[in-house]
Structure 1
Amino acid sequence: MPVGAPAARATAWVDTDALARNCRRLADRLGPRRLLCAVVKANGYGHGFELAARAALAGGARWLAVASADEALALRDAGLDARTLVMGALSERELADALRCSADVVVWELGFVERVAQVAQRLGVVARCHIKLDTGMGRLGTRSERTALACAELVATRPSLELAGAMTHFATADELDDDGYFDAQLERFTRLVAILREALGSRFVAHAANSAAVFRDPRSHFDMARCGIAIYGLDPFHEDAHARGLEPVLTLESYLACVKQLDRGESVGYGRTWRAERPTRVGIVPIGYGDGIRRALSNRGWVLVGGRRRPIVGTISMDNLAVDLGPRPEGERIGEPVVLIGGQGEERISAEEVARLLGTINYEVATALAARVRRLPLSRRAAELPPGAGSARCEHG
């Protein structure tokens, strides 16, 4: 490791205070009578599930949501006992695991309701069930209001089951020009909630809104909102998080491990996809597609070094990428932090910007970060940088 380099090749610094503030912003928008459920699936959208969950709860979230039983178990193993909803499909083994850790589960077929009742009875627990209506997403859930009502009535007859909620999932909440599709989904779910309330009372939690819907339409808020992308300070409309009062939580950082002097025509990386048009200096950064930096950013993406934008040059490899530092030294030093997502000085590279370069969405950029990237709270950053970090001079030649 170069003298003065950070303690790790790739670190995702997570501003847990900002995450908590984002949750408070969302909770304020929902109002005091509605619950905020923080979605921490996919390792907290790449930010680290435990860091994200603890910060979300500190910011006022009352529930947590995950996609799998294994994720629910991981929350319990971390000592997080908040009300947890497993939103995904469950095999027999996964269902038992979810119920053992007191997670709520989602149902939409009579046969599955019966299976949940059997497993819950065998385990000696009461399974809290959420009826899911597919109002137009076309994924999990029943398309039939009649089936949804039948599932709810069956839950009510089984002593090992409890009707805990009714839910749906919007397909176009983040697309304001959707030809009324969002409104049609909202109307269908509103009708189901009214039917269930009349038939079974109001003791269950109705929830439909994701992050985009929370900002889009108060009618979608019901009793609870399931917010994922916004709690991480990423814009649910893929534009500008700051414009919605959200604070980006993630800073993805590596460092300059090596600096080389290149003459005109010399290349860097596999396939020689980039060649120097003039004498220049190239910095080697020990992070690559094995860490989640997509290869498609080769010769297109940017990083921040010393508060300046520097272009990624050459083909990104599994463990390294190169950046063009320009022909003249501008104070860059071996071991100096390199930011791939986040801010440095007055400059910022947002996940939304990276997503636009890749033709994808900020969700994928964040969740693509590999397991070998350390997730650490931003409060530990000073302790992780050794004395003299960035003090060694660049190597030329």
Structure 2
Amino acid sequence: MHRSEITINLGALRRNVRTLLRALDGARLWAVVKADAYGHGAVDVAGAALGAGASALCVATIPEGLALRHEYRTERIIVLGPAGSNREVAQARDAGLELAISDSEVPEGVRVHLKLDTGMGRYGLSELPSPANEVVGLMTHLATADSDAVFARKQIERFRVATEQYSHLARHVANSAAVLRLPESHFDAARCGVAMYGLSPFNTDPAEDNLEPVLSWHTSLAQVKLLQPGQSTGYGRQFIAQAPTWIGIVPVGYGDGFRRDLTGAEIRVAGEPRRVVGTVSMDSFAVELDRELPVGAPVVIIGHGVLAEAHARVAGTINYELTCGVKTDALRARRTVVDG
């Protein structure tokens, strides 16, 4: 019996893709499936996204692209990160991958996208050279589409001015936040990641943008016990009962991707909200109960009203850092793919 179950709902993902395509109003959607599709499973997600209308796949590294090429023989796969070694570039050429190039060296025989740094301050060219024959696209990366629209619009305008004479090439700027809030960023295509997974790029309730979370995470109580006043649970005695207190032990911990800084987060036990108390261990954590519940009572860690965004606020991070960290190794959890 597995300690927890992660469910990936490809039906929800398809609906999210169609929601984003409506927002794009004619621009193409390129599905970002790097980091194993933000922890959702790149192969499954890629197929669902393409079937729902995405026209390309985006990854971070050439090895990620090569792994997808084994499953998707003809679809466009664009590597957004640095090109890597000469050996990897040769492998990319043979596999028909497209590469994002952030310097003046454009490899021969590979379709490339020149990346202009308009304000992110990371990878990217300071000035856009005259595109060589291998160049099929021009791109930049927005730093604040989710938080500072004024600066994002300055980046968009810099990009527009720098690239307007090359409008015959595919121009792509928008991430998920820009797709939903900055229509002037849409150009020819958008690289959509977080919103495709039903996660809010603004770390708010995704339903506000008609998005459905794709990943849910369930388990059950492994033990239930009554703490007397002065008794504690977990390392360091971070939770000490002030009165007789029922607690439930959940057989999931930071070794599974439920982080130590999620103490205080709210999950659902037997359908009711319950607070995580004490120190999160590698393999378990405790929740405070209002009464005795049976061992085996269902626990929802993410999904069905428990938002990754709420957990992220407790942990001081972003929703997709959390989903990227959820372990789907069969030795720790069971991963189920549904189409609901």
Answer 1 or 2: which has greater helix percent: 1
Q: Is the 8 A contact 2:83 2:101 kept in 1?
A: no
Structure 1 residues 69 and 234: CA distance shift in structure 2, 3 A:
same
**Count of residues in correspondence between the two structures:** 336
1:384 counterpart residue number: none
Matched, 1:164 2:136: yes
What is the TM-score when the length of structure 1 is the normalising length? 0.81
Q: Is the 8 A contact 1:48 1:375 kept in 2?
A: no
How far the C-alpha of 1:333 sits from its partner, in A, is 3.0
What is the TM-score when the length of structure 2 is the normalising length? 0.93
Matched, 1:301 2:261: no
**Of 378, 387, 392, which aligns to 2:338?**
378
Deviation by residue 1:159-216 (Cα, 9 ceiling, x = unmatched): xxx221110111111114x5x311211111111221324xxxx1x2111100111112
Deviation by residue 1:54-87 (Cα, 9 ceiling, x = unmatched): 2211211111101011111221233464211000
Structure 1 residues 40 and 356: CA distance shift in structure 2, 3 A:
same
Aligned pairs (5 A) from 1:131-280: 131-144=114-127, 148-150=128-130, 152=131, 155-156=132-133, 162-176=134-148, 178=149, 180-197=150-167, 202=168, 204-280=169-245
1:47 counterpart residue number: 40
Distance across 1 between alignment mates of 2:73 and 2:299: 34
Flag as ranges the 4+ runs of structure 1 deviating above 6 A.
none
Distance across 2 between alignment mates of 1:79 and 1:184: 37
Matched, 1:333 2:294: yes
Deviation by residue 1:1-45 (Cα, 9 ceiling, x = unmatched): xxxxxx42122211110100000011112123x211010111111
Distance across 1 between alignment mates of 2:256 and 2:71: 24
Q: Structure 1 unaligned segments of length 5 or more: list them.
A: 1-6, 118-125, 157-161, 381-397
SS at match of 2:232: coil
Aligned letter for 2:112?
A: C
Q: Is the 8 A contact 1:47 1:375 kept in 2?
A: no
How far the C-alpha of 1:99 sits from its partner, in A, is 2.4
SS at match of 2:255: helix
Aligned letter for 1:378?
A: V
Distance across 2 between alignment mates of 1:337 and 1:53: 31
How far the C-alpha of 1:379 sits from its partner, in A, is 4.9
Identity %: 45
Deviates more, 1:257-266 or 1:128-137: 257-266
Distance across 1 between alignment mates of 2:215 and 2:179: 22
Matched, 1:107 2:110: no
Q: Structure 2 unaligned segments of length 5 or more: list them.
A: none
Structure 1 residues 341 and 281: CA distance shift in structure 2, 3 A:
same
* Rg larger in structure: 1
Distance across 1 between alignment mates of 2:245 and 2:74: 55
Structure 1 residues 259 and 100: CA distance shift in structure 2, 3 A:
farther
Structure 1 residues 105 and 289: CA distance shift in structure 2, 3 A:
same
Distance across 2 between alignment mates of 1:285 and 1:68: 36
Alpha-carbon RMSD across the aligned residues, in angstroms, is 1.7
